[in-house]
Structure 1
Amino acid sequence: MSDLDATTPRIFLARHGETEWTKSGQYTGISDIPLTSEGVKQVTDTGRLLVGPRKLVDPARIARVWVSPRRRAHQTFQHLFGDSISPERVILTEDITEWDYGDYEGMVIGDIRMLRKERGLDQEKAWNIWRDGCQGGESADQVSERLDRLIEEILKVQGPHMDGKEPADVVLVAHGLILRCFVKRWLRYPLDIDLPMIMSPGAIAILSYKNHDVNQPGIYVGMALPSKEE
């Protein structure tokens, strides 16, 4: 058995590539904005390096893919995987859409904080989305609820296969903030815990379990790439 075959099931988090609002720093929730040409290149390059037989993300080992229905996420899935994942393994779900920014959709953080001050909010502390949520949009509790629901589905898929003998990797193709929220919920942290994270457009992050134990969710801070040799 190769080292790759012996791994505990993993969860790959794939952030969509650049959009025009990614470049400008505008909060992009429900707006259905496509990738830029640079965004397509980011994702295509990531896929070329990391996705494929005997690569980090091997389609043959993927049991399920959850994709945000937003166009930028769907484009990212297509550029990463093409037709290498059979349709019955792919699920479009609102559970992994970006945080609903409500009144703050399309705004940058400085303007959001100014707007909230004008509304009499945040007089003592600056707005923090992890704690305060979004007026007209989602609260941290609402985001946690839908991500926890998705985590339960992932555990059902991976729980019986902690020995790595059967393909049980999963992939989430979604958005920058919601994927960082997912990391916190995967580690069983509340969303307002201070856990600084950075995830570039087109990036792939990896979660898994410690000691092959479904009750010990973990995060890879580094992982060796599989050997190309059989």
Structure 2
Amino acid sequence: MTATTRICLVRHGETTWNVDRRVQGQIDIPLNDHGLKQAQATAQALLGERIDHLYGSDLGRAWVTAGRIAVPRGQAVMPEPLLRERHYGAFQGLTYGEARERHPDIFQRFEAREPALRFPGDTGESLIQFDARIWGLVEALRARHAGHTLLLVTHGGVLDIVARRVRGLPLTGKRDFDIANCALNWIAHDAGGWRIERWGDVTHLDGTLDELPA
């Protein structure tokens, strides 16, 4: 009998660039005041949950969120660079409007979620590369911590990949699920494979933003 492995994924708290609808990617943007409050609320919401291992992206907005969750539990956060957001190449630092204006052809292909598309100058990660990085890590953590409960504090693009993989959805096509700052997103794996237990739980939060599309 296969032991059940549970994973809670949390997108980092809000940043000013989230509010501005600006592409962060792997640029290290700090939490704003509201994001810090969201992280604290998430810590409180998770206090009653068993968490055996806590991993965090090493980008500041996720790392600080993870730290706020870990401190009241007396647990350490293990840094995991593979949990970083997708690298969006030349789109990083731009709003969607700016990216569309400066790179109209590539932006159109980006919105269409072309799996092999890179960014201007052949930079950043394609969806195929990003998917391989994220899902490879999730499967490695499942094997490493079989039967345990994990918390992964990470980024919106990461949650997009995980939700599609668990639900058997393609990389292409618009998503039909929310990816909110500091929402609780639970998945589990047992003999039947992967499943969503609960997604997009924001009952502990006072207002939150959805991830940018594509």
Q: What is aligned with 2:130?
A: 143
Match of 1:32 among 7, 16, 28: 28
Paired with 1:145 and 1:41, the residues of 2 have a C-alpha distance of 33
Matched, 1:218 2:201: no
Change (3 A) 1:182 1:19: same
Of 169-178 and 128-137, the range deviating more from structure 2: 128-137
TM-score normalized by structure 2? 0.80
Contact 1:100/1:134, CA 8 A, preserved across alignment = no
Measured against aligned partners, the alpha-carbon deviations of 1:64-121 in whole angstroms (never above 9, x if no partner) come to 222110011111011112152543xx4312211011011001111122222222xx54
Paired with 1:101 and 1:138, the residues of 2 have a C-alpha distance of 6
Q: What is aligned with 1:165?
A: none
Contact 2:184/2:199, CA 8 A, preserved across alignment = no
Change (3 A) 1:130 1:95: farther
Aligned length: 195
Matched, 1:71 2:60: yes
Q: What is aligned with 1:41?
A: 37
Identity of aligned residues (%): 25
Match of 2:119 among 134, 137, 140: 134
Match of 1:114 among 54, 76, 101: 101
Match of 1:30, SS?
Answer: coil
Paired with 2:200 and 2:12, the residues of 1 have a C-alpha distance of 21
Paired with 2:200 and 2:91, the residues of 1 have a C-alpha distance of 37
Match of 2:151, SS?
Answer: strand
Contact 2:12/2:61, CA 8 A, preserved across alignment = yes
| Structure 2 alignment gaps of length 5 or more | 202-214
Offset, 1:218: 0.8
Q: What is aligned with 2:160?
A: 180
| Structure 1 alignment gaps of length 5 or more | 1-6, 162-167, 225-230
Paired with 1:103 and 1:12, the residues of 2 have a C-alpha distance of 31
Q: What is aligned with 1:19?
A: 15
Contact 1:100/1:138, CA 8 A, preserved across alignment = yes
Q: Which residue identity lines up with residue 37 of structure 2 in the other structure?
A: K
Measured against aligned partners, the alpha-carbon deviations of 1:171-208 in whole angstroms (never above 9, x if no partner) come to 11011122222222334443224432212212111111
Paired with 1:69 and 1:186, the residues of 2 have a C-alpha distance of 24
Match of 1:93 among 77, 80, 94: 80
Larger Rg: 1
Q: Which residue identity lines up with residue 172 of structure 1 in the other structure?
A: L
Contact 1:113/1:127, CA 8 A, preserved across alignment = no
Measured against aligned partners, the alpha-carbon deviations of 1:4-59 in whole angstroms (never above 9, x if no partner) come to xxx943110111111110110000012111111111011111221x221xx2x33x
Q: Which residue identity lines up with residue 220 of structure 1 in the other structure?
A: E
Paired with 1:14 and 1:130, the residues of 2 have a C-alpha distance of 23
